[in-house]
A and B are shown apart, each in its own frame.
Chain A
Amino acid sequence: MKTNDLIIQTTTKVVFYIIFLFSIHIFFAGHYTPGGGFVGGLLMSSAIVLLLLAFDLKTVQAMLPVNYTVVTAIGLLIALATASGSIFFNVPFFTHAFDYYNLPLLGKTSIHTAMFFDTGVYLVVVGVTMTIIQMIGGDE
């Protein structure tokens, strides 16, 4: 039976970007306000799950041709690389550093290596959640 799901599909097209932007916001705000890589990653995967609900698995895979196992692995590598950077400076593992930079659009911004670690967490959460959902949802 083919149902007409025009409304949910149209809404999803709009809402997806709002959730996506919110997840990015939560991710960057994590250092000073509640949020961070884990919640941000979950929000991002919930946006993709919304796509999965509105469209079917094949369409979404065509939209986002991503292998989520690889996403997980990249996330782990980023987290490990950030933490291991300290090894090269001969300080204890996981020692973070930060400094202020003048970025083109944002102006004076503090960049902390903990953020790169959080990027790893973000990617791992997205990768793992989406792998689980696609594995259970996909029936091939």
Chain B
Amino acid sequence: MINLLLFPVLIPFLFATILLFFPKKVKAQRIMVTIGLLLSLISAIMLLIKVKTDGVQAITLGSWAPPFGITMTSDMISALLVTSSIIISLFVVWYSFTSIGEDREKAFYYPAILFMLTGVNGAFTTGDIFNMFVFFEVLLMSSYVLIVLGGEKVQLRESIKYILVNIVSSSLFVITVGYLYSVVGTLNMADISVKLATIGQSGIVTVIAVLFLVVFGIKGAIFPLFFWLPGSYAAPPLPVLTLFGALLTKVGVYAIMRTYTLFFTTDVGFTHELLMILSIITIVAGCIGALAYFDLKQIIIYNIVIAVGVILFGASTMNENGMLGSVFYLIHDILIKGALFLLIGIIIKITGTSDLRKMGGLMKRYPVLAWSYLIAAFGLAGIPPLSGFVGKLLIVQGGFEGEYLWQSIFILASSLIVLLSAIRIFIYAFWGEEKGVKDISIKTYRHLLAPTICLVIVTVLYGIGSEYLVPFMTDAATVLLDPSVYTDAVFGGVK
């Protein structure tokens, strides 16, 4: 099965295509989408095991030799990301059954999710920079559909901004790839890595590195380029927001990590210093936003920005612990943001508002929701047995080892602010006198709670079981730190 690494990309694509045939049959859509996601999950787990036992998997499409065909490469980090993105989609789809409403389900909602998953998984798996652009477009186009689906006024307004920003960044991506192609004359990522290493330190390569940072920074919401994110993410309905918040920015972050570890390793003094400064300011900006709002959605959305900063800081240190930490934190953040968005989705459903000041006292009537929110909030902040701890610990350790004292202290301080912003939701929504509670039927509540609790349990298991995950994460960090592992796998037996 040399094609195994393509299955997590192909299965969602196949099922999305099949779903196009009968958009109005909601039941059949639900069944098929679940089957499709379960099959992709199985294939992703098989891939994970395969990568663990046999090392980096690479295949060049069409039986061409590596630099000439499109290479798909699955190393540990992309296998892990693919698996977690399928898990998130599974929970979001389960949650959507009760939450999204039949009108949207009839208007190609599930095919759009599956096409987006195709794009996300493809972007994680690809080993060709232009193919990465194509997969970015696949996921972006499906996200345009998802953000505007339903056609409410605010969705229409925000989708225009979102599409404009992303078209600009996509054009920049093409221009940047054009520059890179004219310098190295190849698009295969492994080949680019080899060629750039022989070119060595040169001005134009640094310029291209910064351009890539701008391109992926717009997608991944780093400091001066995250301006579109708070407005656009608040517009679509909650399950869509969950998918966006958990997956889309992470694709940008993955792309930065990939290019900055595989391509641009010659002038680290400039590029990685820049990345570090930007990631620190990103954290500061995110912290300010997370404290400033009384709006549930905005608080969590700004927490995405903080997490992007933390992950990129770990990556920019370029030492073993920092890289290991950011891989840990990346997967943690996908899971925990999914869980948090689903949780606040239930709160918004119950109170009918996303304004913290208009709600209170949910603890008495909804204790399970309250306690699982508290666990998720602690996980977000990184309280020891939970999921956020190991990643941040390793990132800070990597920071101290690289003698980035102040930056590491910033990371630690940001944890406090993250905790404060998340606990503020807990205090306002769950404590105090009961107000703003609309009775939703117990059946709806349970149906919404089931996927949410399961996702919270997954995050808790991720935290408790980090010991078992260390070998996987170490593999991922090894490939990121040593590009030759990656290039050897791609060119295995060719050069």
Q: A residues touching B (Cβ–Cβ < 8 Å)?
A: 69-70, 72-73, 76-77, 80, 84, 86-87, 90-96
**The 7 residue pairs across chains A and B that have the minimum distance between CB atoms:** A73-B20, A94-B61, A95-B63, A94-B62, A76-B17, A87-B3, A92-B59
Contact B60 A92 (CB under 8 A): yes
Residue of B nearest to A90 (CB): B2
Q: List 13 A-B contacts (CB under 8 A).
A: A70-B20, A73-B20, A76-B20, A80-B14, A86-B3, A90-B2, A91-B2, A92-B62, A93-B3, A93-B10, A93-B59, A93-B72, A95-B61
Q: A80-B10, A80-B14, A90-B2 in contact; A70/B21 too (CB < 8 A)?
A: yes
Residues of B within 8 A of A91 (CB): 2, 63
Question: Complex formed: what's the CA distance from A96 to B62 in Å?
Answer: 7
Question: Complex formed: what's the CA distance from A93 to B60 in Å?
Answer: 8
Residues of B within 8 A of A95 (CB): 61-63
Question: Complex formed: what's the CA distance from A8 to B23 in Å?
Answer: 37
Near A by CB (< 8 A), chain B positions 22-38 give: 23
Contact B63 A92 (CB under 8 A): yes
Question: Complex formed: what's the CA distance from A72 to B1 in Å?
Answer: 30
B59 to chain A, nearest CB (A): 5
Residue of A nearest to B60 (CB): A92
Question: Complex formed: what's the CA distance from A68 to B14 in Å?
Answer: 18
Q: Kindly state whether residue B329 has any CB partner on chain A within 8 Å.
A: no
Residues of A within 8 A of B21 (CB): 70, 73
Question: Complex formed: what's the CA distance from A80 to B14 in Å?
Answer: 8
Question: Complex formed: what's the CA distance from A128 to B21 in Å?
Answer: 14
A131 to chain B, nearest CB (A): 11
Contact B2 A92 (CB under 8 A): yes
- Annotate B2-19 by CB proximity to A: 1 below 8 A, 0 otherwise: 110010001001100110
Residues of A within 8 A of B23 (CB): 69
- Annotate B38-67 by CB proximity to A: 1 below 8 A, 0 otherwise: 000000000000000000000111110000
Q: A72-B20, A77-B17, A90-B1 in contact; A84/B10 too (CB < 8 A)?
A: yes
Question: Complex formed: what's the CA distance from A94 to B2 in Å?
Answer: 13
Residues of A within 8 A of B60 (CB): 92
Contact A92 B3 (CB under 8 A): yes
Residues of A within 8 A of B61 (CB): 92-95
Residues of A within 8 A of B3 (CB): 86-87, 90, 92-93
Q: B residues touching A (Cβ–Cβ < 8 Å)?
A: 1-3, 6, 10, 13-14, 17-18, 20-21, 23, 59-63, 72
Question: Complex formed: what's the CA distance from A92 to B60 in Å?
Answer: 7
B1 to chain A, nearest CB (A): 7
Residues of B within 8 A of A80 (CB): 10, 13-14, 17
Residue of A nearest to B70 (CB): A94
Residues of A within 8 A of B6 (CB): 93
Question: Complex formed: what's the CA distance from A73 to B23 in Å?
Answer: 12
Question: Complex formed: what's the CA distance from A77 to B10 in Å?
Answer: 11
Question: Complex formed: what's the CA distance from A106 to B158 in Å?
Answer: 56
Question: Complex formed: what's the CA distance from A95 to B65 in Å?
Answer: 12
Question: Complex formed: what's the CA distance from A91 to B20 in Å?
Answer: 29
Question: Complex formed: what's the CA distance from A69 to B62 in Å?
Answer: 29
Residues of B within 8 A of A84 (CB): 10
Question: Complex formed: what's the CA distance from A90 to B18 in Å?
Answer: 24
Residues of A within 8 A of B1 (CB): 90
Residues of A within 8 A of B10 (CB): 80, 84, 93
Residue of A nearest to B62 (CB): A94
Question: Complex formed: what's the CA distance from A86 to B69 in Å?
Answer: 15
A72 to chain B, nearest CB (A): 7
Contact B62 A73 (CB under 8 A): no
B23 to chain A, nearest CB (A): 8
A96 to chain B, nearest CB (A): 7
Residues of B within 8 A of A76 (CB): 13, 17, 20
Question: Complex formed: what's the CA distance from A95 to B70 in Å?
Answer: 12
Residues of B within 8 A of A86 (CB): 3
With A80-B14, A92-B62 given, name 17 new contacts (CB 8 A).
Answer: A73-B18, A73-B20, A77-B17, A80-B17, A90-B1, A90-B3, A91-B2, A91-B63, A92-B3, A92-B61, A93-B59, A93-B61, A93-B62, A94-B62, A95-B62, A95-B63, A96-B62
Residue of A nearest to B14 (CB): A80
Question: Complex formed: what's the CA distance from A69 to B111 in Å?
Answer: 12
Residues of A within 8 A of B13 (CB): 76, 80
Residue of B nearest to A76 (CB): B17
Contact A69 B20 (CB under 8 A): yes
A92 to chain B, nearest CB (A): 5
Question: Complex formed: what's the CA distance from A95 to B13 in Å?
Answer: 19
Residue of A nearest to B20 (CB): A73
Question: Complex formed: what's the CA distance from A84 to B62 in Å?
Answer: 11
B50 to chain A, nearest CB (A): 15
Contact A73 B2 (CB under 8 A): no
Question: Complex formed: what's the CA distance from A109 to B394 in Å?
Answer: 63
Question: Complex formed: what's the CA distance from A86 to B62 in Å?
Answer: 9
Residues of A within 8 A of B59 (CB): 92-93
Q: Quick one: which of A76, A84, A90, A94 has the most chain B CB within 10 A?
A: A94
Residue of B nearest to A72 (CB): B20
Residue of A nearest to B13 (CB): A80
B111 to chain A, nearest CB (A): 9
Question: Complex formed: what's the CA distance from A127 to B3 in Å?
Answer: 30
A31 to chain B, nearest CB (A): 15
A32 to chain B, nearest CB (A): 19
Residues of B within 8 A of A94 (CB): 61-62
Question: Complex formed: what's the CA distance from A90 to B20 in Å?
Answer: 29
Question: Complex formed: what's the CA distance from A95 to B2 in Å?
Answer: 13
Residues of A within 8 A of B18 (CB): 73, 77
Question: Complex formed: what's the CA distance from A75 to B13 in Å?
Answer: 13
Question: Complex formed: what's the CA distance from A69 to B13 in Å?
Answer: 16
